[in-house]
Structure 1
């Protein structure tokens, strides 16, 4: 049997987190801060230590587990060299500890019944892990799961909810609930990439570049500090469950698809919306947000989503990419016209609408929460946005150009 040094596998910076047994264990952190990987290692270690404990893993959208929490927990099993003791399945999505039958269960808040009606075959449901907890905009959704972790446990066992997230906006309920109070039942900490000894120099260089080019983003994604919502550009939006097919049946509703190109630093962003001109409403129903995509991969993504025949307005600065996408079968893609002062006028046009964002569009929520006006040397807001947290928003602006032209023509 292989011996594993936890100190070498886990590293430093998380001693209090690892040992805390209170009700709420909350970590806000920048990217590369080890918060998710450390949580995964801790869950696997604890379940082998406590033979009657089961764990519930929550994400806002169930489908996001597969490439995040599920993969991280499998990675943790490999790191601890206990693969022979665990088995995992994709249907249903769960991980099982073979010696006892304990399970790690995965659920999404997009299916409330699956969360509130959980039973376990062996032992007790003791722990829950909320990954990307910032995406949970409604505190009541958290409370429902919190209330489901209940009941008397055997001596030596404890109930605990772990929350990990990037702190995009200081107005989020997580700050008031866990960071603005002191309680013996809450451990709330902040971590960042500086405590991650497993990063190599190229990883660190990315953060150093971010510090220079995007200082506001560096404070959030680098240092794990709360994002400031001062000067928010869009306050005319809210997250909302809606039926896309029902919206599409409305008279005069138009589809709007936009694409903003990125690669190394910035993501490629696809915005998909329905626009109700009669009621001045925009319904954002889908998105794509991914770095390092080549044009053939972008084309395949658009086809996979079923949008290959849609009119897509793309960033006109990338004429070569637009031409390549046409060759790959995205024939109706067109460049945005932009023009003088197009950013500000596009923003003003979007501000005329009530914007509804489907809960599955988590990156749109982040951008709309963090897209703000710039300030002058005296700290006063000016009528110019900071060029950050705007990739999906830019794609949305492009997608609305045909609708703006029709309105002007009238």
Structure 2
């Protein structure tokens, strides 16, 4: 018989092994890691199992997961039964159970692991997606149920952990709306037990610590969302906070109501790591709204193959405004019968084009344009070494943003009085 006072929000979690995956996300000081560690010890005391605890870097275990597990063993007065060995780090139980520790920075050492029936990935957002999939392959046992526990502080919605367990806009995959988890606190679906926690769930925290978390809202809203509210979101300053994605039918219906819409097509060129990106746009100049309703997005495509795939533009004779840094490519398309011209470039044009797009009151994109949504919805500025934004550099290389720049060449959000533009 073991008696241990725990936080009420974690009581059901401690003894629920009904799912293969258990995903815990929470703010600072919510006690999620503590309760995962306690849950692991209780399970291995009751059943003979081998559990693997993983972090991205092996050496970080000593002062985190190993130290936490050892602290709980001592607190439960089980240190005379459970041996906490430091070289190599390992916990051995009287029934033959054991906990071993590995780091994804030494993947070769994973190959020697056998009969692991439980894996705990601490700070799973720091582990690469390829590492997560590798660990799934290591989770195997001939007779026992398999379980993977994942714990993390929330990160950006572009992280694999959010895309895999919640929403992946690029692949149009929705597993669980994270807002539902924040509201219900625990959700079980698709063989996954989801658990959300904040500092308020840890009854053992001093008020001074919670006050410190509350104060973050005044000087670092992003960190406050992560640390205090325990919620995923956008890490950094968004370039286009007015960006929204709507169902295609709604977008086309809205475009249909525009009087004298300004129709534009922009194209960015790419091949190996970059992409050929084309966007069709419609501008409601009066309302200052930019609509994006069609995209083309591919790489490793030679010009002749691209010309075949976008032949509809040759047939429709739509004007494509493209990256003028590729005059040879533009000339090739023109020779193939496409209406294409290069956008004007000048010193400071990146910043000028970014400011131009930011002047729209709304930027509304069809949800069918998955790559536009993926690149622009959560696009943030790159920061310099002092933490200040660089106004014409971004967290990723957004090819669709470049296509929008080129397509809007010659258009001014503030100055143009309406109607179409002649060239």
SS of residue matched to 2:117: strand
8 Å contact kept, 2:49–2:96: no
8 Å contact kept, 1:21–1:160: no
1:139 aligns with 2:129: yes
Give runs of aligned pairs for residues 183-194 of structure 1, distance below 5 A. Answer: 183-194=189-200
Q: What value does the CA root-mean-square deviation take over the aligned residues? A: 3.0
The match for 2:77 is: 81
Q: Say which of 85, 90, 110 aligns to 2:105.
A: 110
C-alpha deviation, 1:21, in angstroms: 2.7
The match for 2:164 is: 177
Higher mean alpha-carbon deviation, 201-210 vs 160-169, is at 201-210
C-alpha deviation, 1:213, in angstroms: 2.7
8 Å contact kept, 2:116–2:141: no
Q: 1:46 to 1:379 in 2, by over 3 A?
A: farther
SS of residue matched to 2:40: helix
Give runs of aligned pairs for residues 287-298 of structure 1, distance below 5 A. Answer: none
C-alpha separation in 1, matches of 2:29 and 2:83? 28
The match for 1:21 is: 18
C-alpha separation in 1, matches of 2:102 and 2:207? 36
Q: 1:393 to 1:101 in 2, by over 3 A?
A: farther
Structure whose CA Rg is larger: 2
8 Å contact kept, 2:21–2:148: yes
1:279-323 residue CA offsets vs partner (Å, 9 max, x unmatched): xxxxxxxxxxxxxxxxxxxxxxxxxxxxxxxxxxxxxxxxxxxxx
The match for 1:149 is: 139
Give runs of aligned pairs for residues 318-397 of structure 1, distance below 5 A. Answer: 393-394=385-386
1:208 aligns with 2:214: yes
C-alpha deviation, 1:4, in angstroms: 4.2
C-alpha separation in 1, matches of 2:2 and 2:96? 23
Q: What TM-score comes out, normalization by structure 1 length?
A: 0.52
C-alpha separation in 1, matches of 2:113 and 2:141? 13
Q: Say which of 81, 92, 95 aligns to 1:100.
A: 95
C-alpha separation in 2, matches of 1:114 and 1:394? 39
Residues paired across the two proteins, number: 236
C-alpha separation in 1, matches of 2:195 and 2:10? 9
Structure 1 gaps of 5+ residues are: 234-350, 352-374, 398-410
Q: Say which of 151, 154, 166 aligns to 1:164.
A: 151
The match for 2:203 is: 197
C-alpha separation in 2, matches of 1:132 and 1:199? 21
Q: What TM-score comes out, normalization by structure 2 length?
A: 0.51
SS of residue matched to 2:150: strand
Q: 4+ residue stretches of structure 1 with deviation over 4 A?
A: 229-233, 378-381
C-alpha separation in 1, matches of 2:386 and 2:237? 18
8 Å contact kept, 1:86–1:95: yes
C-alpha separation in 2, matches of 1:65 and 1:230? 29
SS of residue matched to 2:109: helix
The match for 1:56 is: 52
The match for 1:228 is: 234
C-alpha separation in 1, matches of 2:41 and 2:197? 21
8 Å contact kept, 1:17–1:25: no
C-alpha separation in 1, matches of 2:215 and 2:11? 30
C-alpha separation in 1, matches of 2:21 and 2:100? 19
8 Å contact kept, 2:222–2:236: no
